[in-house]
């Protein structure tokens, strides 16, 4: 997808995607770091949600509504719903709060009632915990999880031979769609003179920790 490269370019410009020496939660030395929380102004966040909207439309995954897990999924699901509506696709959306409310309307869900095929929006999948919680919430409401959309698939093995993304797809029997993947990042670096110096380190990391190609 051409817009995957545009998304990576935006992430680099905004400092969301940085290169150097970083230690991941799993204790691995990574040559790059991705922090979607740094899409922290109106313009860049609008662009981010536009890429989510385009990814959803390009995927062809059938869905009736969107769900954003607290906390990172909350602005994502609202912003993406707006961008989809601008393209003539009007979908209801909902999100959860971490703590149940004991006054007013109560409960942990805000937004449209969960029903039909529900697409989950998150930033990345590391341990898959928020996806698991989202699936439980959706199923408890009698609705069907339709898939997950994330910003970047690191295509990195978890404890076994599968990546966290593959584990989620296999466990819940639903697609995980990424705006961009590690393969997109590698091809972007190869074509970018100012960033090409990072290419060998990222490729070496992929050789060490990566999964087989998903395409």
Q: What amino acid positions are annotated as catalytic residues?
A: 101, 103
Helix (H) or strand (E) holding 168: helix 164-172
How many helices, marked H, and strands, marked E, lie in the chain?
7, 8
Q: 8 exposed, middle or buried (CB, 10 Å; 0-12, 13-18, 19+)?
A: buried
Name the phi and psi angles at 146, rounded to 5: -100, -20
Count of CB atoms situated within 10 Å of the CB of 187: 15
Contacts of 162 (CB under 8 A, 6+ apart): 170, 211
**Angstrom distance (rounded) from CA 122 to CA 131:** 8
């Amino acid at each position: 997808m051409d817009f995957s490269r545009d998304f990576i370019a935006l992430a680099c410009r905004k400092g969301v995607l940085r290169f150097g020496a970083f230690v991941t939660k799993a204790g691995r030395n990574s040559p790059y770091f991705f922090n979607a929380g740094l899409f922290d102004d109106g313009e860049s966040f609008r662009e981010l949600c536009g890429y989510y909207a385009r990814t959803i439309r390009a995927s062809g995954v059938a869905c009736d509504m969107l769900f954003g897990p607290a906390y990172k999924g909350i602005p994502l699901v609202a912003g993406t719903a707006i961008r989809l509506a601008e393209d003539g696709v009007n979908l209801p959306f909902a999100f959860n709060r971490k703590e149940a409310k004991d006054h007013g309307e109560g409960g942990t869900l805000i937004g449209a009632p969960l029903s039909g095929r529900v697409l989950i929006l998150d930033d990345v999948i590391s341990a898959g915990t928020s996806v698991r919680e989202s699936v439980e919430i959706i199923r408890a409401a009698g609705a069907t999880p339709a898939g997950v959309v994330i910003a970047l698939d690191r295509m990195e093995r978890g404890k076994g031979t599968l990546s966290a993304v593959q584990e989620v797809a296999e466990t819940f029997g639903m697609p995980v769609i990424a705006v961009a993947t590690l393969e997109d990042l590698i091809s972007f670096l190869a074509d970018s003179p100012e960033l090409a110096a990072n290419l060998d380190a990222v490729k070496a990391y992929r050789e060490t920790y990566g999964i087989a190609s998903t395409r």
